[in-house]
Amino acid sequence: MKIKKTFFAILLLTSLGSYAQQDAQYTQYMYNTINVNPAYAGSRGVMSIFGLYRTQWVGLEGAPKTGSISINSPLGKNLGGGLSLVNDKLGPTQENTLSADLSYTIETSYRYKLSFGIKGSADFFSLDPNKLNPKNANDPSLQNFDNSFSPNVGAGIYFHSDQLYLGLSAPNLLETNRYNDNDVIVNKEKMNLYLIGGYVFDLSPSIKFKPAFLLKGVSGAPLQLDVSGNFMFNEKFVLGLAWRWSAAASAMAGFQITNGMYIGYGYDLETTKLHNYNSGSHEIFLRFELPNKMNRIVSPRFF
């Protein structure tokens, strides 16, 4: 237990004192695109309600826990909109981000569309020093931040069809400091840049295969690369594997309960020395979609 607490203290100080804060990570990013790319809003052609919960590094005290809920829908022939709320906890810190998205789509051909999106967000950050045992209780970097507010804006582009997608986005374009007295900076957030892509191959009438990737970059931190491969059987069952560069290997499974309801689960196993201090990470989500007068429920797909 002492080793775990020591490791957590190092992890926490790194995250609080760093000059580059990364956004929450997701293993099943191909289903949760709205959180990182506003141009995705409305791209499925129906109202889509999505909820996800992720508990990371189970067994490690103060490890990250993330909850996300979102809704996005077409707003007309070319417009799409969405709302999302993300709750991210790490040790004594908690961050709630409320976002609104708006997209505009043009048809580049019979099969392909290009969408442009903008995002506006409100971030509320809290730090509870009572959950710490600092050597210096008067340390200014450990003040009690109670819902410290910071606004932000983001943008993205999303090229897609029924089989392919490729997107580039920056959900937070503005750099924000949770605290800055010219001597101490706590939890400084910089622009996170995302490049995502995937393609669905029809291997047979009953089997589809989709490789996908996500590349995330932020100044002051190493690039994060996620690659995955998922198989869909009879448009009902999904099984896949994923790998996060120098971080984790993952297994994923999903089931199309009805035409409009899909549930998915992911498990991460650390490939670094961190695996000695936890039993892995778990992620589960549920997506529910509603048809409208102009569109039926889209056929099951990976994105």
The DSSP letter of residue 298 is P
pLDDT of residue 186: 53
Nearest in space to 195 (alpha carbons), one of 231, 227, 229: 227
Token pair of 141 as six digits: 């970097």
pTM: 0.85
pLDDT computed for residue 22 by the predictor: 63
Q: Which domains are seen in the chain, by residue range?
A: 2-290 (2.40.160.40)
Contacts of residue 242, defined as CB under 8 A and 6 or more positions apart, other chains included, come to 27, 226, 227, 228, 229, 249, 250, 251, 252, 266
Q: What is the pLDDT of residue 10?
A: 42
CA distances from 167 to 33, 72, 284 (A): 9, 17, 24
The mean per-residue pLDDT over the stretch 197-224 comes to: 91
- Residue 13: pLDDT above 50? no
Pairing state of beta strands 65-74 and 93-107? unpaired
Per-residue confidence band for 19, with pLDDT thresholds at 50, 70 and 90? very low
Q: Closest Cα to residue 177, out of 12, 14, 16, 64?
A: 16
Task: Retrieve residue 20's tokens.
Answer: 């580059």
Residue 17's pLDDT is 40
Closest CA to 162 of 200, 214, 196: 200
Share of the chain above pLDDT 90, in %: 60
The segment with the largest mean pLDDT, out of 10-14, 39-43, 256-260, 271-275, is 39-43
- Confidence grade of residue 187 (pLDDT, cut at 50, 70, 90): low
Contacts of 4 by beta carbon, 8 Å cutoff, 6+ apart: 59, 60, 61, 277
Contact yes or no for 52/68 (Cβ under 8 A): yes
Using an 8 Å Cβ cutoff, are 197 and 166 in contact? yes
Angle at 172 between CA 263 and CA 225, to 5 degrees: 60
* Contact indicator for 169, 157 with CB cutoff of 8 Å: yes
Q: What is the pLDDT of residues 33-49, one digit of tens each?
A: 999 999 999 999 899 99
